[in-house]
Structure 1
Amino acid sequence: MRRILALAAAVLLAGCSPSGGDTRPPARAVVLVSGLASTAPYTAPDAACAIGLPAGTDHTSLREHLLGKGYSVFTAPAMVGSGQVHDTTGYGAFASCPAPLPASMTLDSTGSIDLAGEHLARFIDWLHTEKQIDEVDLVGHSMGGLFARAAIRTLKAGQSAVTVRSLTTIGTPWQGSYLANFVEGTVTSGDCAGDQFCESQMNGYARDIAAVHVSGSARELGQSYLMGPKGWNTFQAGVLDTVPVTLIGGDRFDRAGGPPAVWPNDGVVELRSALGRDIDAAVLPHRRCRVVDDTHSDYVSMIAQLPRDTALTWDPRVLDTVTEAIAGAATALDGPDRQGC
């Protein structure tokens, strides 16, 4: 009898041991995702660029803030075009960075949303294999929010071992950008209501979109691609059912009485789109929102002759909102829906 009890105890202990099953708590990380036409280096919690901006123009402040709060933070590599990320010069320069990851795990920030999502999903799976990451909180700036949504769909379809705890989007064109809509002709310069900065964006930033509008992310930035019964959003139904989403939008630029298809906006994305106000509950079932009087990016702040911390990814209020979204992810689905939206 003593031998049988000892054997039974050994079997039970084996079931609780590392060799009989992994009982460690899940390893978590925050993954920062860049937007349209952005170049960002791969960084890890203990490795960043030694020259220039440590994690690029959109991620440096967010990364430093989240690291300071004790989070493990990785930036997904992104490139204008296909290939690996290397040193950059000019605006937002960085150099002497961690070894670049393969092109297959690097987002082409000018390619299609779904292709970028596939590469991001591959990067997240790599974090599981190489860094033992089991759960991720995704934070996407601009189109990075759409890339992240595509990645979540890919991870679920492939039954990935990684769980997405939360998604936070910052200035993301859930419904498109008024500048892309100007290129398509659904928004006109008259909708600027005489605002000179709005008109300059249509004649500058929108012209740049038009130059590459024939394919890739620029073509997919318009409302016609994203919305409607056969739009991209429609095919994302169910993807976010178990993922709490926080949407952060900027309303730095406004024109009283102006059409909501343009006003207010952050210089690139209208607030209505950034908050996903016309997105069906089947696509976005659990959401909370935050509005700040910021521009889309530090580049927009620069050309508008505003301080850098008026940009969404550099404003301490936004950094705190991102932190709160991640900290509250475990219970967010049980909380109030559409708070602030």
Structure 2
Amino acid sequence: MRSLALLAAVTLAGCSHPAPTARQPSRSVVIISGLASTSPYTSPEAACAVGLAAGTDHTPLREHLLAAGHSVFTAPAVAGPGQVHATTGYGAFASCPAPLPAAMTIDSTGSIDLAGEHLARFIDWLHTEKKIDEVDLGGHSMGGLYARAAIRTLLADGSPITVRSLTTIGTPWQGSYLANYVEGTVPLGACLGDQFCESQMKGYVRDIAAVHISGSARELGKSYLTGPKGWNTAQAGVLDRIPVTLIGGNRYTHPDPADAAVWPNDGVVELRSALARDVDDTVLPHRRCDTVDDTHSDYVSMITDLPRTTALTWDPRVLDAVTAAIDNAPKAFDGPNRQGC
């Protein structure tokens, strides 16, 4: 009997299982494009097989981050409501992963807050379907504002997702001098006779009148974003626990004295706005800034006969800076609250 009892004990011991260990948090980078852009959804494993793998705004950064060992998703965006489909012409892409529902696709012509709600749904979907627990957000142009609106929505909804860091690239934190010209707060004379500056201002007047960018484009002005009752003020507290890196371009300059509301700029956003120099610490308490001599986008580089790599979205220096911001996020609070800003 003793031998049978011993055998049973050994058998039971062999069948026992160790206590399950907690699943390690899964982290990914989410890249967000800006105003009037159309960008496909891509995952670390799947992208568009024809044309630009993730669209003109996302492709270089996506490839750079993947090469650095990061998991990367690109948020779907379309110039108007609906799903993303293949595009032709400038920035063409096709044979992409299946488009996601319109409810989690950014309408890059709608309001900032609506875009943020759709982006928040996409991020929650990553948690539910892809088991992502932490995200590093990288937004180009108004994508940085969409990201901030999404963070606010995630916090308000009690989302289980943790936003680990935010990097904005050419984002109009305080608006764009082009929209301010439309509002009448920046005169054409602030261009100081620069023909490209004047053509951009006049072109924005034409573009903003078009129905397809009648939403976000009208929220790019200083009157909407700044001031005691502005959009920025309403975001106070949202970024308290999130380190933020701001990257701005100063490709276009003018000898002093020049109005800082325009000069220097990247062709769309003045450097003062891209670096959030007038945004209060209650809204942006932890910030690090980088400045490069780039244009706003490869489109701006194209129309001014510059190489694609002179654009914030394609410059290897910017891609390195974004990667460094993500890699250094855990130590971001060790230094001063403002660095290079």
TM tier relative to shorter chain: over 0.9
- Distance change >3 Å, CA 69–CA 214, structure 1 → 2: closer
Helix, strand or coil at the partner of 2:179: helix
Helix, strand or coil at the partner of 2:334: coil
> In the alignment, what sits opposite 1:330?
330
What is the distance in 2 between the residues matched to 1:215 and 1:306? 29
Helix, strand or coil at the partner of 2:154: helix
How far off is 1:90 after superposition?
1.0
How far off is 1:334 after superposition?
2.0
1:118-143 deviation line (CA, Å, top 9, x unaligned): 00000000000110000000000000
> In the alignment, what sits opposite 1:307?
307
How far off is 1:49 after superposition?
0.4
Q: Is the 8 A contact 2:168 2:245 kept in 1?
A: yes
What is the distance in 1 between the residues matched to 2:159 and 2:17? 27
| Residues 1:17 and 2:16 aligned together | no
Helix, strand or coil at the partner of 1:267: coil
> In the alignment, what sits opposite 1:278?
278
What is the distance in 1 between the residues matched to 2:337 and 2:234? 22
> In the alignment, what sits opposite 1:62?
61
What is the distance in 1 between the residues matched to 2:147 and 2:86? 24
How far off is 1:210 after superposition?
3.8
Alignment of 1:49-128 (within 5 A): 49-128=48-127
Alignment of 1:2-13 (within 5 A): none
What is the distance in 2 between the residues matched to 1:335 and 1:133? 28
What is the distance in 1 between the residues matched to 2:44 and 2:103? 22
Q: Is the 8 A contact 1:237 1:283 kept in 2?
A: yes
What is the distance in 2 between the residues matched to 1:211 and 1:225? 20
What is the distance in 2 between the residues matched to 1:318 and 1:99? 30
How far off is 1:16 after superposition?
4.4
> In the alignment, what sits opposite 1:153?
152
Runs of 4+ in 1 over 3 A off after TM superposition: 13-16, 210-215
How far off is 1:212 after superposition?
4.5
> In the alignment, what sits opposite 1:193?
192
Note the residue ranges of structure 1 that are not aligned, 5 or more in a row: 1-5
> In the alignment, what sits opposite 1:218?
217
Alignment of 1:135-150 (within 5 A): 135-150=134-149
Letter in 2 for 1:17: P
What is the distance in 2 between the residues matched to 1:224 and 1:92? 32
Letter in 1 for 2:20: S
- Distance change >3 Å, CA 42–CA 214, structure 1 → 2: closer
Helix, strand or coil at the partner of 1:265: coil
> In the alignment, what sits opposite 1:264?
264
What is the distance in 1 between the residues matched to 2:213 and 2:65? 37
| RMSD of Structure 2 on Structure 1 (CA) | 1.7
How far off is 1:24 after superposition?
2.1
1:152-182 deviation line (CA, Å, top 9, x unaligned): 0000011111000000000000000000001
How far off is 1:202 after superposition?
1.1
Helix, strand or coil at the partner of 1:235: helix
Letter in 1 for 2:60: S
How far off is 1:214 after superposition?
8.9
Helix, strand or coil at the partner of 1:207: helix
What is the distance in 1 between the residues matched to 2:228 and 2:76? 33
Helix, strand or coil at the partner of 1:313: coil
Letter in 2 for 1:177: S
Q: Is the 8 A contact 2:109 2:213 kept in 1?
A: no
What is the distance in 1 between the residues matched to 2:227 and 2:30? 30
> In the alignment, what sits opposite 2:288?
288
Helix, strand or coil at the partner of 1:208: helix
How far off is 1:252 after superposition?
0.1
What is the distance in 1 between the residues matched to 2:212 and 2:147? 21
1:11-36 deviation line (CA, Å, top 9, x unaligned): xx999415xxxx12210000000100
What is the distance in 1 between the residues matched to 2:333 and 2:240? 9
Letter in 2 for 1:331: K
Letter in 2 for 1:80: A
1:37-96 deviation line (CA, Å, top 9, x unaligned): 000000000100011100000000000000000000000000100000000011101000
1:306-327 deviation line (CA, Å, top 9, x unaligned): 0000000100100000000000
What is the distance in 2 between the residues matched to 1:214 and 1:25? 42
> In the alignment, what sits opposite 1:173?
172
Percent identity over paired residues: 77
Q: Is the 8 A contact 2:116 2:146 kept in 1?
A: yes
Q: Is the 8 A contact 2:179 2:204 kept in 1?
A: no
| TM, length-normalised to structure 1 | 0.93
Q: Is the 8 A contact 1:213 1:219 kept in 2?
A: no
- Distance change >3 Å, CA 15–CA 184, structure 1 → 2: farther
